Structure 1
Amino acid sequence: MPLDDNVWLVVGLGNPGPGYAGNRHNVGQMVLAELADRMSARFTSHKTSSTVAEGRSAPGGPKLILAKPNSFMNLSGGPVSQLLRFYSLEPNRLIVVHDELDIPFDTIKLKSGGGHGGHNGLRDIIAATGGGDFIRVRVGIGRPPGRQPAADFVLKDFSSTERQSLPSLLSDAADAVELIASDGLTAAQLKFHTAAS
């Protein structure tokens, strides 16, 4: 579909509906809201079981197709594979933004390829796209306190303390997406992996 060769599909993982909107599991979709605000783009319904917003983060810069699957997290693969087909993009033009238990809160890590690490959204995308050859923006949410099960922890809203620094975390993750699209993964890793935590 795109004539422009510098196009990226950016998918923010989460669960649909207002009841989940503030959950840690929905941080990927929160990052997409930040990116859409920067581009003055609005999300609209799309035939791929997603809501989509399109724009550029800078004039003449890469085109970003921001997509939030309408499915639940563990069924993200179907909408993502439909989006790739609709926009005629390969998985190497896909950036998935998601929550990551194994990274401390307020930290971002970037990688390409690899397994799902127990993340059900990633597991379904890997199965649906035939492999893990896409870029991940991993937004750290940290581990649950005490013996709280991880499944409960990710479906809770951020704490009041976390919410104070959440805007800067979302901004950093949005910066990382823009830098990957404009300058490549290595440049973005150099910036975000060497930044003082």
Structure 2
Amino acid sequence: MYLIAGLGNPSRTYEGTRHNIGFTMIDAIGNKFGIDVTTKKHKALVGRGMIDGMRVILAKPQTYMNLSGESIREITDFYKIEPENIIIIYDDISLDVGQLRIRKKGSAGGHNGVKNIIAHLGTQEFPRIKVGIGNKPEGWDLADYVLSKYTKAEQEALEEASEGVIGAVKLMLMDDIEAAMNKYNAKKRDAR
């Protein structure tokens, strides 16, 4: 059993905002594989189903971003899911909109939702998919930026990104995270 959780904030206020990219990606995965993510359980909206023969739980924690670990811990305890079988999808301001960065493990990198998950699980050893939301423009407050909506051009980049996330998840479920990283990780820019 795998847990694929996207991070975001509940309520209509935050729908479609940059910070909720994790929820957006879980919806895309659910739509692709016919998994309804509407059951309220474990402080989350969850859905159970199959992706390429693997049993999965899709989850959108409803605890607000900074307390995401409460929900993730409840789900993993209930279903006895090991950290290496958890995939967390969340926003990253250091990547351009729609760029992906897949990691096997690592620190929170300043992301409070991930920091809370690490605190609740007691480990950093879980895979994650970071989805770029772009860096905040000059003069913007970070909180205002991450809670802002996308431009039309950015929405197109996100549609492409959702295909990448789906492809990466399929590879990760086949225990081929290296292939997922090689295929989908954002290439570093030429520093010239």
What range is the shorter-chain TM-score in? over 0.9
Q: Match for 1:37 among 31, 38, 44?
A: 31
3-state SS, counterpart of residue 174 of structure 1 = helix
Q: Which residue in 1 is equivalent to 2:172? A: 180
Q: Which residue in 2 is equivalent to 1:117? A: 109
One-letter amino acid of the counterpart of residue 154, structure 2: E
| Distance (whole Å) between structure 2 residues aligned to residue 12 and residue 194 of structure 1 | 19
1:189 aligns with 2:176: no
1:55 aligns with 2:49: yes
Alpha carbons 1:101, 1:140 under 8 Å: kept: yes
Alpha carbons 1:28, 1:97 under 8 Å: kept: yes
**How big is the shift at 1:87?**
0.7
3-state SS, counterpart of residue 65 of structure 1 = strand
**How big is the shift at 1:195?**
7.0
One-letter amino acid of the counterpart of residue 39, structure 1: F
One-letter amino acid of the counterpart of residue 125, structure 2: D
Alpha carbons 1:31, 1:171 under 8 Å: kept: no
| Distance (whole Å) between structure 1 residues aligned to residue 108 and residue 187 of structure 2 | 25
| Distance (whole Å) between structure 2 residues aligned to residue 173 and residue 194 of structure 1 | 12
Measured on the aligned residues, the alpha-carbon RMSD in Å equals: 1.7
Mean Cα displacement is larger for which, 164-173 or 121-130? 164-173
Q: What are the residue-to-residue correspondences of 1:1-197 with 2, within 5 Å?
A: 7-58=1-52, 61-193=53-185
Instruction: Give the number of equivalent residue pairs.
Output: 189
Q: TM-score, normalised by structure 2?
A: 0.92
Spell out, residue by residue over 1:135-187, the C-alpha distance to the aligned partner (whole angstroms, 9 max, x if none). 01010111011121222111111122211222111221122112111242111
> Which ranges in structure 1 are unaligned for 5 or more consecutive residues?
1-6
CA spacing shift, 1:196–1:148, aligned 2, 3 Å = closer
> Which ranges in structure 2 are unaligned for 5 or more consecutive residues?
none
3-state SS, counterpart of residue 174 of structure 2 = helix
One-letter amino acid of the counterpart of residue 79, structure 1: S
